[in-house]
Amino acid sequence: MTDSPPTPASKTALADRPADLGPEAPALLAIGQAARELGVSVRSLRYYEEMGLLTPTGRTTGGNRLYAPDDLARVRRIRELQHLLGFNLDEVRAILEHDDHLTRVRHDWADAHDDDRARLLDEAREADVNLRAQVEVKIRSLVMFRDEINARIARNDLLREGLHG
């Protein structure tokens, strides 16, 4: 998109945010920069692409991947679903595809009929409620686990009170 530049001065546009395009020009990052910013490995970014979860917004003429802010947000979402919730990449892809479907339809929201809109909203709501339920199960497990640890600490402190050192 922001690739194939009419300004032949920069073919790669690696980290350049050209002033002549105005302040709203998107900052495209090379894979190493993106990985550092996200705290993930370069290999992971390439693997997500290989698995069809993420296509970087652009490529340089040399073939280097270029990541837009939206791409970074997508990676953060992938990581949340993977590591916070324990989904595998097939499940993550399914959720992302559902998200993508929603944004596509939201795009021609103005042209849609009210019943189509209602169906869309209900569908999105159900997915969110499902996801929330899974998150809450995880939270409850973790809170129980923390409470057990706190109980152990309290028992420890009681024993410790009995000693003078």
By CB under 8 A, residue 150 contacts a copy of itself? yes
φ, ψ dihedrals at 93, nearest 5° = -60, -40
By CB under 8 A, residue 70 contacts a copy of itself? no
Return the residues of window 36-65 that contact a copy of itself according to CB under 8 A: none
Q: What residue 128 binds from a copy of itself, DNA, none (CB within 5 to 8 A, per partner kind)? A: a copy of itself
Q: What residue 57 binds from DNA, a copy of itself, none (CB within 5 to 8 A, per partner kind)? A: none
- Helix, strand or coil for residue 67? strand
By CB under 8 A, residue 132 contacts a copy of itself? yes
Q: Which stretch binds DNA (CB under 7 A): 27-35, 94-102, 110-118, 126-134?
A: 27-35
By CB under 7 A, residue 4 contacts DNA? no
C-alpha–C-alpha distance, residues 147 and 139, integer Å: 12
By CB under 8 A, residue 94 contacts a copy of itself? no
φ, ψ dihedrals at 87, nearest 5° = -75, 150
Q: What residue 131 binds from DNA, a copy of itself, none (CB within 5 to 8 A, per partner kind)? A: a copy of itself
By CB under 7 A, residue 57 contacts DNA? no
Q: Which residue has the tokens 């947000």?
A: 73
C-alpha–C-alpha distance, residues 113 and 159, integer Å: 69
By CB under 8 A, residue 111 contacts a copy of itself? no
C-alpha–C-alpha distance, residues 22 and 100, integer Å: 29
Among 7, 41, 55, 141, binds a copy of itself (CB under 8 A): 141
Return the residues of window 66-105 that contact DNA according to CB under 7 A: 82, 88-90
25 sits in the region (left: phi over 0; alpha: psi -120 to 50; else beta) called: beta
Q: Which is nearer to a copy of itself, 11 or 132 (CB)?
A: 132
| C-alpha dist (Å) from residue 122 to 55, 87, 118, 128 | 29, 23, 6, 10
